Amino acid sequence: MSDRVVELVALVGSLREASINRRLAQLAAENAPGGVHVTVVDDLGTLPFYSEDVDPASADDTELDAGVARLRGVVGGADGVLIVTPEYNGTIPAALKNAIDWLSRPYGSGALQGKPVGVIGAALGRYAGTWSREDTRKSVGIAGGRVIEDVELGVQTSALPDAGVEDPALVEQVVVAVNRLVDEVAVRA
């Protein structure tokens, strides 16, 4: 067995500090299997809006924003990506979509290129954020990521058990999602 540590990065689509999605990402990190490290990135709201005018890959005499450079470095250095997203008005939160746009550049060689990506999330509605997860998968696939369709978990926040996200059954579902993503990293290696 290899001593190599599998590096995953969890991108949190919610900006709210007490977000259930942020907590799901933390659960993924806290319960990662041995030999797996999960870095949680929960500051996507600090990134400037993507524009070719401020992207050095497209514009001359432009410096890359430090937050974008850090995000590209973390994702580029990871073996796989777990996106944890709520649903806002039936789709992807703006901050998450913006991060995907930054990660898709430079076109054809962005930080997501060829990486296994799983999408999970929690939302209030009765469909538990299905539309957001579907739209996120679509966007990530177009951005160059290798979407792992069967990394699937949708949590209906209005129906959480008394233990909330600490419910053992929910923690186990997060663990299953992380393990499935790790399996895909192994396939890619």
- The whole-number average pLDDT for the span 70-83 is 98
Per-residue confidence (pLDDT) for residue 94, from 0 to 100: 97
| DSSP type of residue 37 | E
Q: Given pLDDT bands bounded at 50, 70 and 90, which one contains residue 131?
A: very high
- 26 vs 1: which has the higher pLDDT: 26
CA–chain centroid gap for 104, Å, is: 14
pLDDT at 1 over 50: no
- All structural domains of the chain: 6-188 (3.40.50.360)
pLDDT at 189 over 70: no
pLDDT tens for 29-55 read 999 999 999 999 999 999 999 998 888
pLDDT tens for 148-181 read 999 999 999 999 888 889 999 999 999 999 999 9
Report the predicted TM-score, pTM, of the whole model to 2 decimal places: 0.95
Residue 71 exposed, middle or buried by CB count within 10 Å (0-12, 13-18, 19+)? buried
